[in-house]
Amino acid sequence: VNVATLRQQFGSVSRQRRLAAGLSQEELADRAGLHRTYISLLERGQRTPSIEVVRQLANGLDTTMTSLVGDLEAKLD
Amino acid sequence: VNVATLRQQFGSVSRQRRLAAGLSQEELADRAGLHRTYISLLERGQRTPSIEVVRQLANGLDTTMTSLVGDLEAKLD
């Protein structure tokens, strides 16, 4: 697994979780304390998030970092 | 939880896992494809890892990202 695949799969997980929560990119950005532009780049696999960003996203999605990373790892297997 | 706490707790988890695996910083660095200096900074809470670094560490420790992040989140609770 290279870093581009990891980024793309994390973006895909983030997008799926956001849509499942019924949130727009702007709503998630507000809840997570991130910029809407950053959410957009992340979902398109154009940013590699730090664990701080993973934590902010988990907070914004009312889930845990462990749950997000578990979804990511399931996609990578 | 602020980012400094997150970093420090991740560094603590990383160090505990490395010691439990019986690896020196240099050995883990080699296995993970990271620099020994970076491992040292990370363990001291002076770097915020990306998910790519979390993946590299998990590989080097023969564990999963989910397991490392689970330990981190348990410490933060």
ipTM of the complex: 0.94
> What's the pLDDT tens digit per position in A13-61?
999 999 999 999 999 999 999 999 999 999 999 999 999 999 999 999 9
Which residue from B7, B51, B70 is facing A54, i.e. has the nearest CB? B51
| Mean predicted confidence (pLDDT) in B65-76 | 97
pTM for the model stands at 0.95
- List chain A residues with CB under 8 Å of B10: 51
> What's the pLDDT tens digit per position in B1-53?
899 999 999 999 999 999 999 999 999 999 999 999 999 999 999 999 999 99
Task: Note whether B51 and A57 are within 8 A (CB).
Answer: no
> Which 3 state secondary structure label does DSSP give A50?
strand
Rounded distance between C-alpha atoms, residue B1 and residue A8, angstroms: 27
- List chain A residues with CB under 8 Å of B65: 69, 72-73
